[in-house]
A and B are shown apart, each in its own frame.
Chain A
Amino acid sequence: EDQVTQSPEALRLQEGESSSLNCSYTVSGLRGLFWYRQDPGKGPEFLFTLYSAGEEKEKERLKATLTKKESFLHITAPKPEDSATYLCAVQAGSGGSNYKLTFGKGTLLTVNP
């Protein structure tokens, strides 16, 4: 069974204090690893898709990286508007269930001004 574990569960930063969120996964045949941002009471907003170890994607203050066992979401010089829950999900390629996403519980990021 596919498993996704995110750490830490919650992270509090000061504005400008860079840090990283971790997503470790166990899947059989990774098709893609996805990062989403979720604001309270809203649906997940797509950020990145990563396909293979060594791949990196960047968007504004966010950078996602992927290894064979985990992914990191690096946040450089965060601002208060970066406060949200960040969700990691995997899509596996084995068997018939190669379309559903398996999510972690998320990391709640709070950036104080």
Chain B
Amino acid sequence: DTGVSQDPRHKITKRGQNVTFRCDPISEHNRLYWYRQTLGQGPEFLTYFQNEAQLEKSRLLSDRFSAERPKGSFSTLEIQRTEQGDSAMYLCASSTPRQEDAPRHRILTQYFGPGTRLTVL
């Protein structure tokens, strides 16, 4: 298995600019998650896709944030009009092999990518 990949790994932007991040999940996984992690904290859930459907958005995800997963493959997370408080590590994870008889641990376990570090100046 190739793992979850994210691009870019680092992004520095000025306040007010728009940024977009990409996540490529493990190819056999149909669930994809976005989390945000700030210094000294654990990751916090942002949003979740099952195939191409976005099934939940956290209250942390303001109107400036939008996520898509066209065709149920890769996903993008866009932040419009960035603010300094958006500076964080943005993590993508995937889970759940498509085959129905996958063992339980493979269904529940989320595998994370390397993250995109966003710095808003």
Q: Which residues of A line the B interface, CB within 8 A?
A: 4, 31-32, 34, 36, 41-46, 49, 51, 87, 89, 91, 96-97, 99-106
Which B residues are in CB contact (< 8 Å) with A102? 45
In whole angstroms, what is the CA distance A45 to B115 when docked? 12
Inter-chain contact B112/A36, CB cutoff 8 Å: yes
In whole angstroms, what is the CA distance A42 to B42 when docked? 13
Closest CB-CB distance, B57 to chain A, in whole Å? 11
In whole angstroms, what is the CA distance A45 to B3 when docked? 11
**Which residues in chain B, 94-121, are within 8 Å of chain A measured between CB atoms?**
95, 104-105, 108-115, 117
Inter-chain contact A34/B109, CB cutoff 8 Å: yes
Closest CB-CB distance, B6 to chain A, in whole Å? 8
Closest CB-CB distance, B97 to chain A, in whole Å? 14
A46 and B33 in contact (CB under 8 A), knowing A97-B56, A100-B48? Answer: no
How many residues of chain B get a CB closer than 8 Å to chain A's CBs? 27
Inter-chain contact B112/A44, CB cutoff 8 Å: yes
Q: Is B85 an interface residue (CB 8 A)?
A: no
**Which residues in chain B, 14-67, are within 8 Å of chain A measured between CB atoms?**
31, 33, 35, 40-45, 48, 56
Inter-chain contact B104/A89, CB cutoff 8 Å: no
Q: Is B91 an interface residue (CB 8 A)?
A: yes
Q: Which residues of B line the A interface, CB within 8 A?
A: 4, 6, 31, 33, 35, 40-45, 48, 56, 91, 93, 95, 104-105, 108-115, 117
Which B residues are in CB contact (< 8 Å) with A89? 42-43
Inter-chain contact B108/A100, CB cutoff 8 Å: no
Which B residues are in CB contact (< 8 Å) with A100? 33, 45, 48, 56
Inter-chain contact A103/B44, CB cutoff 8 Å: yes
In whole angstroms, what is the CA distance A103 to B6 when docked? 21
Which B residues are in CB contact (< 8 Å) with A42? 114-115
Inter-chain contact A99/B43, CB cutoff 8 Å: no
Which B residues are in CB contact (< 8 Å) with A87? 42-43
Which A residues are in CB contact (< 8 Å) with B42? 4, 87, 89, 103-106
Which B residues are in CB contact (< 8 Å) with A104? 42
In whole angstroms, what is the CA distance A36 to B91 when docked? 14
In whole angstroms, what is the CA distance A87 to B112 when docked? 13
